[in-house]
């Protein structure tokens, strides 16, 4: 086990999240940097981990905040908020293109000195509506809306209720470029009241919204629409206590719905809501239990709202959820923050699988030198190379490698490619102790590009890797070498049309070259995540693809030395999505692939076997009490001897997992976890014999540390 030096983690909160697939989410918020300033925070979810992304701040900002985000594709997101200057507060918008976040110019209404954007909703990369409020020089706070057309943001005229001294729009949801609903509140004679406004493509207009009888204040914070005449808005109202509030829009009127409140709570609030159908919504917020804030979630089934159990971080003195995004009724991500025992705000995330909410580890970026090992390859029990990434104090990711000599792991120097701002090594394959290839990707000012580095027994060196013509972002995720001059690497890239497409590159000892790979018909996103070769002319690659209205499905391709071709591979019946992450072959007719399936009872580990003629689904066990399981890597030394590693999650913890294949069945193995770890995961494994394997990953005890486990004995 290797632990890196770490600095103090500073405060951070997540305000909003947007998902385009269960394993593709962007979350935004703010954190305090090393200088004590509040700066934008963005994190990405890839189905396995949350990772911090670099976000810029305006040059004249003293503090900056992101409060809302909306994505129409994995490489197309808009985030909004505001930043403070010596002259006042200014609206802020930033765009994500799959490679990096960039600041966009936002206009301000005439005669203002304080401007804020709170929420955003996009129906296309060039069609977004953002809402908020501004403070006019004459005094009253007024509603604000701005539109994005793909080239520029423009201010739109929005009405404010007659006689209001304060009018605020907090959330917005669009089902078409000319069909949006925005909600918030306004102050009428000293009493806050709910407000809703509709956009018809030409103008914003005020709609009548009800307020609970006897309420001394009513607020709507978030809204989600599945059609122009089907919206749910949530918030809270106040009388003797604060209680949850939900209102529904049927295309004609807004009406109040009955919402439950946790027993004994003196204060309950709903901040965000996400609907995948008119009868399938999730709303999140918090409530007070004996003065302590606790996370809150409620579900709408078309008839009633009901409370759901949500976890709270152990040792936290307060927890809250502020935003939620669902891609299916059983696939939601909720984000927020918790207050640590040291009194610092820390980002948090929870996932809904249709049965339970489960806590996820989410990164806090400032000041931590976090380390993660993602891949390992061994040529002998005393000769292994492991690769991954670590975060330097500036927040940038850089590659790193460690070597095992049978007694100790030692750090190796790994170069960062010239011109790259960040780099990650994801996988490694060694044909000999002095002949290894590691692959991944690098961020540059012009986009994300493939990365390959070679180990010659003495040093790691960067190799030139080609980028597909017209690619706007390219990633390598798996590699397999049968000789020092024969390697295959696989991954994916965004083509000129913004479609995610499979990628394969070959190493011949002198240069890397791109190979043509097929994609499933009708797929909008296709990924190759792992590859295993038994000869230069015999490789199997696995991954997954997304095809619009259907679920994500498993993907397999075969290399025969001349071309890559698609193979038929089954997806388990009833799975809402299925991914394969790793594959290991001992012969061209003997491969094992592992990953995950999402089912009605939760996420479960999956495995499929190749016998030279067909892929078949294999039964994988899930230990008692486990709510979610995933297998990330696999290594086979014979057709009847494989080790697979990953994670298991229970209601209280996420821990390492391992399963063994004996040629007939998979069975679970006991794996250790570092003392005090709140989250432990294994990503890669390499075996030189059935009883000699090395597995790598990371664990979290407030920050990430590298983790290595040896076994089985």
The full 3-state SS of 440-505, as one line of letters, equals: EEEEECCEEEEEEEEECCCCEEEECCCCCCCCCEEEEEEEEEEECCEEEEEEEEECCCCCEEEEEE
Residue 6's contacts (CB-CB under 8 Å, 6 or more residues apart) are 368, 369, 370, 703, 705
Q: Which two tokens stand for residue 179?
A: 């069909």
Dihedral sign computed on CA atoms, order 384, 46, 698, 463: positive
> Do residues 348 and 396 both lie within one domain?
no
> Is residue 371 reached through a cis peptide bond, with omega within 30 degrees of 0 on the bond before it?
no
Are residues 694 and 684 in contact, defined by beta-carbon separation less than 8 angstroms?
Answer: no
Domain boundary among 360, 384, 419: 360
In a domain, 1, yes or no: no
Nearest-angstrom CA–CA distance, 696 and 681? 8
Q: What is the mean pLDDT of the chain?
A: 88
Confidence of residue 360 (pLDDT cuts 50, 70, 90): confident
What are the pLDDT digits (tens) for 272-284? Answer: 999 999 999 999 9
SS3 708: strand
Count the neighbouring beta carbons within 10 Å of the beta carbon of residue 403. Answer: 16
Pairwise CA distance, residues 15 & 499, whole Å: 28
* Statement: residue 8 has pLDDT above 50: no
Cβ pair 578, 597 in contact under 8 A: yes
pLDDT digit string (tens) for 543-598? Answer: 999 876 666 789 999 999 999 999 999 988 777 788 999 999 999 999 999 999 88
- What percent of the chain has a predicted confidence (pLDDT) above 70? 92
The residue out of 360, 384, 402 marking a domain boundary is 360
Calculate mean pLDDT across residues 175-182.
96
User: CA–CA separation, 182 vs 175, rounded Å?
Assistant: 12
How confident is the model over 297-313, as a mean pLDDT?
Answer: 94
CB-based contact 107:119 (threshold 8 Å): no
Quick check: is 263 in a domain?
yes
**Which of left, alpha, beta for 470 (phi over 0: left; psi -120 to 50: alpha)?**
left
Return the pLDDT at 527: 93
Instruction: Compute and round to an integer the Cα radius of gyration of the chain.
Output: 26
271 contacts 219 by C-beta, under 8 angstroms: no
DSSP state of 317: S
Claim to verify: residue 214 and residue 334 sit in the same structural domain? yes
Q: 427 and 450, same structural domain?
A: yes
- Whether residue 241 is predicted with pLDDT greater than 90 in this model: the reply is no
DSSP 267: B
Same domain, yes or no, for 546 and 677?
yes
Instruction: Give the position of tokens 């739109």.
Output: 156
Q: 220, 210 in Cβ contact below 8 A? A: no
CATH number, domain containing residue 529: 2.120.10.70
Answer yes or no: is 6 within a domain. Answer: no
**Is 50 a domain residue?**
yes
Report the candidate in 180, 179, 203, 181 with the shortest Cα–Cα distance to residue 194. Answer: 181
Note whether 16 and 333 are within 8 A (CB). no
**CA atoms of 20 and 327, how far apart (whole Å):** 7
Asked if the structure places residue 5 within a domain, the reply is no
In terms of domains, do 577 and 444 share one?
yes
Do 405 and 504 belong together in one domain? yes
Q: Domain for residue 366, yes or no?
A: no
- How many beta carbons lie within 10 A of that of residue 245, not counting itself? 26
pLDDT at 365: 42
pLDDT in tens, 128-175: 999 999 987 666 789 999 999 999 999 999 998 887 888 999 999 999
- Give the pLDDT score at 713: 59
Please give the pLDDT value at position 128.
Answer: 97
Cα 41 to Cα 24: distance, rounded to the nearest angstrom: 17
Please state, in angstroms and as integers, the Cα–Cα distance from residue 165 to each residue in 158, 185, 192, 704, following that order.
15, 11, 10, 48
Same domain, 454 and 343: no
pLDDT at 500: 87
What six digits make up the tokens of 701? 């005890």
257 and 395 share one domain: no
* Number of domains within the chain: 2
Query: Mean pLDDT across the stretch 603-611?
Result: 93
pLDDT on residue 552: 78
What are 495-519's pLDDT values in tens digits? 877 788 999 999 999 999 999 999 9
> Would residue 113 be called left, alpha or beta, if left means φ above 0 and alpha means ψ between -120 and 50 degrees?
alpha
CA distance 327 to 603: 15
| Model pLDDT, residue 628 | 85
Residue 568 covered by a domain: yes
Cα separation, 427 vs 420, in Å, equals 19
Residue 21 in this model has a pLDDT that exceeds 80:
yes
Give the CA count within 13 Å in the CB-facing half-sphere of 619.
4
pLDDT of res. 163: 77
pLDDT in tens, 672-713: 877 777 778 889 999 999 888 988 887 765 555 555 566 675
Location of structure tokens 């009405």? 159
Answer yes or no: do 250 and 192 share one domain: yes
Q: Is position 365 within any domain?
A: no
Query: Residue 407 and residue 413: Cα distance in Å, rounded?
Result: 19
Alpha-carbon span 307 to 457, nearest angstrom:
58
**Tens of pLDDT along 613-646?**
999 999 999 777 888 899 999 999 999 999 999 9
Residues 113 and 45 in one domain: yes
pLDDT, position 367: 40
Range of the domain at 398: 371-711
Neighbours of 505 (CB within 10 A): 25
CA neighbor of 28 nearest in space, from 41, 38, 37, 45: 41
Of 332, 360, 388, the domain-final residue: 360
Angle (CA) 432 631 449, round 5°: 60
Q: Are residues 321 and 269 in the same domain?
A: yes
Mean pLDDT (whole number) for 109-129: 91
Split at pLDDT 50, 70, 90, the class of 18 is: very high
The gap from C-alpha 137 to its chain's centroid, in whole angstroms, comes to 41
Backbone angles phi, psi at 215, to 5 degrees: -70, 140
Contact 187, 136 (CB under 8 A): no
- 514/664 Cα distance (integer angstroms): 38
**Segment among 233-237, 247-251, 601-605 with least mean pLDDT:** 601-605
Q: 265 or 677: whose pLDDT is higher?
A: 265
14-28, 94-108, 333-347, 440-454: the lowest-pLDDT one: 333-347
What pLDDT, in 10s, does the model give residues 399-435?
888 888 888 888 888 888 887 878 899 999 999 999 9
Residue 537 in this model has a pLDDT that exceeds 70: yes
**C-alpha to C-alpha distance for 285 and 293, rounded to whole angstroms:** 10
> Same domain for 153 and 266?
yes
535 vs 337, higher pLDDT: 535
CA-to-CA dists, residue 328 to 22, 352, 477, angstroms: 8, 10, 27
Measured CA distances, 105 to 18, 80, 134, 146 (Å): 22, 11, 17, 11
User: CB neighbours of 102 closer than 8 A, spacing ≥ 6?
Assistant: 56, 94, 95
Q: How confident is the model at residue 7 (pLDDT cuts 50, 70, 90)?
A: very low
């Amino acid at each position: 086990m290797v632990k890196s030096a770490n600095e103090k983690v500073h405060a951070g909160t997540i305000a909003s999240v947007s998902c385009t697939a269960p394993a593709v989410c962007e979350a935004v918020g703010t954190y305090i940097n090393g200088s004590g300033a509040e700066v934008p925070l963005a994190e990405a979810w890839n189905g396995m981990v949350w990772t911090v992304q670099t976000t810029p701040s305006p040059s004249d900002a003293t503090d900056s905040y992101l409060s809302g985000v909306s994505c129409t594709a994995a490489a197309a997101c808009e985030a909004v908020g505001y930043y403070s200057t010596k002259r006042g507060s200014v609206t802020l918008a930033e765009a994500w293109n799959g490679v990096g976040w960039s600041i966009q110019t936002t206009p301000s209404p005439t005669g203002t000195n304080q401007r804020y954007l709170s929420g955003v909703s996009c129906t296309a990369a060039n069609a977004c509506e953002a809402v908020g409020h501004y403070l006019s020089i004459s005094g009253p706070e007024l509603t604000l809306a701005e539109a994005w057309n793909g080239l520029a943001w423009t201010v739109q005229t929005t009405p404010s209720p007659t006689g209001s001294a304060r009018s605020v729009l907090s959330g917005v949801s669009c089902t078409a470029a000319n069909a949006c609903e925005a909600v918030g509140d306004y102050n009428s004679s000293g009493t806050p009241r709910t407000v809703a406004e509709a956009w018809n493509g030409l103008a914003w207009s005020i709609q009548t919204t009800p307020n609970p009888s006897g309420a001394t204040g009513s607020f709507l914070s978030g809204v989600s629409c599945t059609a122009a005449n089907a919206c749910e808005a949530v918030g809270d109202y106040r009388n003797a206590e604060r209680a949850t509030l939900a209102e529904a829009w049927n295309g004609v009127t807004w009406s109040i719905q009955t919402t439950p409140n946790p027993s004994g709570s003196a204060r309950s609030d709903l901040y965000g809501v996400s609907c995948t159908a008119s009868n399938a919504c999730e709303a999140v917020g918090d409530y007070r239990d004996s003065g302590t804030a606790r996370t809150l979630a409620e579900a709408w089934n078309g008839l009633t709202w009901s409370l759901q159990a949500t976890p709270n971080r152990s040792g936290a003195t307060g927890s809250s959820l502020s935003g939620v995004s669902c891609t299916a009724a059983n696939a939601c991500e909720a984000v927020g923050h918790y207050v640590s025992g040291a009194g610092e705000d820390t980002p948090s995330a929870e996932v809904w699988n249709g049965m339970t909410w489960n806590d996820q580890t989410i990164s806090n970026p400032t000041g931590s030198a976090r380390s993660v090992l993602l891949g390992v390859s061994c040529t002998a029990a005393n000769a292994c190379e492991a690769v991954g990434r670590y975060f330097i104090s500036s927040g940038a990711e850089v590659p790193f490698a460690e070597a095992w000599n049978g007694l100790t792991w030692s750090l190796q120097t790994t170069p960062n490619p010239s011109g790259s701002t960040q780099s990650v090594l994801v996988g490694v394959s060694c044909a000999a102790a002095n002949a290894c290839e590691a692959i991944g990707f690098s961020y540059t000012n012009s986009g994300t590009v493939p990365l390959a580095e070679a180990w010659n027994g003495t040093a790691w060196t960067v190799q030139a890797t080609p980028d597909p013509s017209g690619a706007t972002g390219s990633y390598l995720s798996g590699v397999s070498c049968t000789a020092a001059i024969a390697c295959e690497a696989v991954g994916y890239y965004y083509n000129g049309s913004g479609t995610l497409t499979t990628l394969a590159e070959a190493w011949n000892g002198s240069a890397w070259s791109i190979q043509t790979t097929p994609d499933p018909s009708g797929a909008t996103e296709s990924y190759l995540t792992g590859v295993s070769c038994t000869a230069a002319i015999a490789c199997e690659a696995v991954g997954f693809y997304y095809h619009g209205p259907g679920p994500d499905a498993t993907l397999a391709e075969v290399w025969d030395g001349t071309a890559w071709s698609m193979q038929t591979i089954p997806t388990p019946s009833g799975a809402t999505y299925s991914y394969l992450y790793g594959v290991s072959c001992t012969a061209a007719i003997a491969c094992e692939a592992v990953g995950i399936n999402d089912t009605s009872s939760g996420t479960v580990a999956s495995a499929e076997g190749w016998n030279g003629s067909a892929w078949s689904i294999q039964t994988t066990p899930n230990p008692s009490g486990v709510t979610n399981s995933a297998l990330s890597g696999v290594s086979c030394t014979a057709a009847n001897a494989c080790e697979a590693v990953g994670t298991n999650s229970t209601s209280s913890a996420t821990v390492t997992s391992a399963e063994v294949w004996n040629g007939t069945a998979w069975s679970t193995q006991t794996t250790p976890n570092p003392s005090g770890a709140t989250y432990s995961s294994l990503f890669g494994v390499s075996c030189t014999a059935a009883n000699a394997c090395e597995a790598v990953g990371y664990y979290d005890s407030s920050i990430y540390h590298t983790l290595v486990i040896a076994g089985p004995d």
